[in-house]
Chains A and B, each alone.
Chain A
Amino acid sequence: SYELTQPPSVSVSPGQTARITCSGDALPKKYAYWYQQKSGQAPVLVIYEDSKRPSGIPERFSGSSSGTLATLTISAAQVEDEADYYCYSTDSSGNQGVFGGGTQLTVL
């Protein structure tokens, strides 16, 4: 079955740029979506269709995709951005959704 691969953890100091990657063979043809999940809470969408930011999401969150790699970038990361981040997409046939394994972002 189709898989999206993320690094298990990323750590940055406050004010630095955090980059979280998501690798998948179908990403050249399928959009990537990014969700933030804080402990004990439901996920929140932070990026959709590779690079679009929903209303209410801070401008420091941005996304890009090139080839088989999608990237979530958090510029000038803040302590409040500490969370698990998941990429999401569909397989090449468009018959199944799939989440990446998740990346724990530490900002300290």
Chain B
Amino acid sequence: EIQLLESGGGLVQPGGSLRLSCAASGFTFSSYAMTWVRQAPGKGLEWVSVISGSAGSTYYADSVKGRFTISSDNSKNTLYLQMNSLRAEDTAVYYCAKAGRGGSYYLWDYFDYWGQGTLVTVSS
């Protein structure tokens, strides 16, 4: 059974940092691109960042570029999102999502499995 379990969310002050984790199981983690998607309270989905299975390619939304870093540890089957210089507008539920098909060609593939999300609140 494929499972994605996010952790690391919480309350942080503006300008602070937080690292989110997404523990994956039930599939060959290193073969699939992984993506972070966030959703502000009462708002729509926002694509944040993607990393290839080999971790050789990463891309970011303009809204987080230079502040967030996506990474993965294939030995631990875990995806990370390091978030620095946090702002109030970063407040959201953060989901990790798995690409539907493996391989480097499917970096931008659909998402077939999502985690339950972890809430990040940026407030003083």
Contacts and interface: CB of A to CB of B under 8 A. Distances in A.
Interface of A: 1, 33, 35, 37, 42-43, 45, 48-49, 54, 84, 86, 88, 90, 94-102
B114 interface: yes
Interface bin, chain B: 20 to 34
Interface in B93-124: 95, 100, 108, 110-112, 114-117
A99 B47 contact: yes
Contacts of A37: 45
Contacts of A1: 61-62
B115 A88 contact: no
Nearest to A95: B59
Given A49-B110, A95-B59, 19 more contacts: A1-B62, A42-B95, A42-B116, A43-B45, A43-B111, A45-B112, A48-B100, A86-B45, A88-B45, A90-B108, A94-B108, A97-B35, A97-B47, A97-B59, A97-B61, A99-B45, A99-B46, A99-B47, A102-B45
A43 B24 CA distance: 18
B50 interface: yes
17 contacts: A1-B61, A43-B95, A45-B100, A49-B110, A86-B44, A86-B45, A88-B45, A88-B110, A90-B108, A94-B108, A97-B35, A97-B50, A97-B59, A97-B61, A99-B44, A99-B46, A99-B47
Nearest to A94: B108
Contacts of A54: 112
A99 B46 CA distance: 6
Interface of B: 35, 37, 44-47, 50, 59-62, 95, 100, 108, 110-112, 114-117
Given A33-B110, A42-B114, A97-B35, A102 B100 contact: no
Chain B binding site: helix, strand, loop or mixed by DSSP?
strand
A63 B42 CA distance: 26
Contacts of A97: 35, 47, 50, 59, 61, 108
